[in-house]
A and B are shown apart, each in its own frame.
Chain A
Amino acid sequence: MSDYISHDHEHDGIDRRGFLHCMAWAGTGLLWTISGGVLASKTLAQIAKAGEALPATDLSFLQISDSHIGFSKEANKDVTATFKIALDRINAMPTPPSFLIHTGDITQLSKPEEFDTFDEVLKSCRTKDVFYVPGEHDVLNDNGKLYRERYLKSVEAKGSGWYSFNKNGVHFIGLVNVLDLQAGGLGQLGDDQLEWLEDDVKDLGTSTPIVVFAHIPLWAVYPQWGWGTSDSERALGYLKRFGSVTVLNGHIHQVLQKVEGNVAFHTAMSTAFPQPAPGTAPSPGPMNVPAEKLRGLLGLTSVKYLQGKSSLAVVDSNLS
């Protein structure tokens, strides 16, 4: 079966077969490219089969998420080992990523020794630059003090730890939406951070590609389980005028994606344990799967930006 597009009635670069193929691979490893808000897919297996390295690009980076160092329950009794496997995969990449983004839940319980273990294991990674945003598990008892002391050294962080930086013409924004959460509510950015965001992007040209990363999804994935951010609409409002916005989140331990106008939303797998699909279990707690299936549900996300094309390619690959 050919993976090339045979019918393209909507002229959107995706046909029915391609779409179904894409969906079939969601969560197991797929590449999708965003061009002006539409996507097309190509499986990792297909890339591997052809023996082709991804073409040289101006910028490639990698997203890892939800390592939950310290977790040792049934769903994965050795999260340090699976985190190591993820790093091995990064080290084995033909084109090493320029840097890593960790979208939070570094640890299970914000314990210093858990952060220590994470840092120690991370030393084996060939890619040394890592940008972080905290997950709720990283700020449990001290509102993120320890997290901020350790993981914001290379950035000019504001407030509770948000920041931005530029790489190869791409503007990256790391947001914090796991602090000062309100009873009954969802993830939250808060007024101070939103005002900062408005100011941060106001002088950027609309052709500047934007990458936003935060722990809890910045779209309403499943509010019943708290999978959303109450004031994310306001944040996205400030980004509406940009031609290419990519939003990378963690928290839900599975790949979900959505394209809305020029904004592509994407959530990454965890390196620790899977969580159930929205609404398919009594709670969003860790999902127990047979041992041989675990690594197929853990993974990492590779993102490439082709300068001048304002397009980003996002590849999820699992650890099996």
Chain B
Amino acid sequence: MITLTHWNKRTALLCGISFFNLAFFAIAGEMKDIDGAGTGTKNQIVIKDFHFSPETLTVKSGEKVTWINRDEEPHTVVSVEKQFKKSSALDTDQEFTITAGAPGTYTYFCSVHPKMTGTIVVEKP
């Protein structure tokens, strides 16, 4: 049986924190403009009428996730817990792509219209 001394308690905590951080930075963001034609609809979240659709998207770790803004209003994609790099303001038909990192649940919102929220669930590949 393992007894938790002060020392191994601290080690366990540090291990936990390191793991947490890895999960945080596993998702990298990129943004690009497109002109009209989409790049496929797999793992695509459409922003329309001030909603993220689908509101919850489940993907495998390592897959790309793309948001596309179909509103005439600029929107952003910002991780609530700062787990991935935020998008800049997406104007009409602009898109934003991230690569899903460690398995987990990632909530995000539009920092311009914070009523708009969504969730990415990342599963093991």
Q: Which residues of A pack against B, CB within 8 Å? A: 73-75, 108-110, 136-137, 140-141, 181-186, 224-226, 282-286
Q: Which residues of A contact B117 (CB under 8 A)?
A: 183-184
Number of B residues whose C-beta is below 8 Å from A?
A: 23
Q: Which residues of A contact B33 (CB under 8 A)?
A: none
Do residues B74 and A140 form an inter-chain contact, with CB atoms below 8 A? yes
Identify the closest chain B residue to A73 (Cβ).
B72
Chief secondary structure at chain A's binding surface: loop
6 A–B pairs (Cβ distance < 8 Å), ordered by A: A136-B113, A140-B112, A141-B88, A283-B50, A283-B71, A286-B72
Indicate with 1 or 0, residue by residue over B46-84, a CB within 8 angstroms of chain A CB atoms: 000111000000000000000000011110101010000
Q: How far is the CA of A316 from the CA of B117 in the complex (A)?
A: 35
Q: How far is the CA of A75 from the CA of B71 in the complex (A)?
A: 13
Q: Which residues of A contact B91 (CB under 8 A)?
A: 109
B92 within 8 A of A: yes
Do residues A183 and B112 form an inter-chain contact, with CB atoms below 8 A? no
Do residues A286 and B80 form an inter-chain contact, with CB atoms below 8 A? no
Do residues A141 and B89 form an inter-chain contact, with CB atoms below 8 A? yes
B96 within 8 A of A: no
Q: Which residues of A contact B43 (CB under 8 A)?
A: none
A272 shortest CB reach to chain B, Å: 12
If A184-B109, A184-B117, A226-B115 touch, whether A140 touches B72 (CB-CB below 8 Å) is: no
Q: Which residues of B contact A186 (CB under 8 A)?
A: 114-115
Among the listed A73, A75, A109, which residue makes an inter-chain contact with B89, where contact means beta carbons less than 8 Å apart?
Answer: A109
Q: Which residues of A contact B99 (CB under 8 A)?
A: none
Q: Which residues of A contact B74 (CB under 8 A)?
A: 108-109, 137, 140
Do residues A140 and B115 form an inter-chain contact, with CB atoms below 8 A? no
Do residues A140 and B89 form an inter-chain contact, with CB atoms below 8 A? yes
Chain B 11-50 residues near chain A, CB threshold 8 A? 49-50
Q: Which residues of A contact B73 (CB under 8 A)?
A: 285-286
Q: How far is the CA of A305 from the CA of B78 in the complex (A)?
A: 43
If A109-B74, A284-B50 touch, whether A183 touches B89 (CB-CB below 8 Å) is: no
Q: Which residues of A contact B88 (CB under 8 A)?
A: 140-141
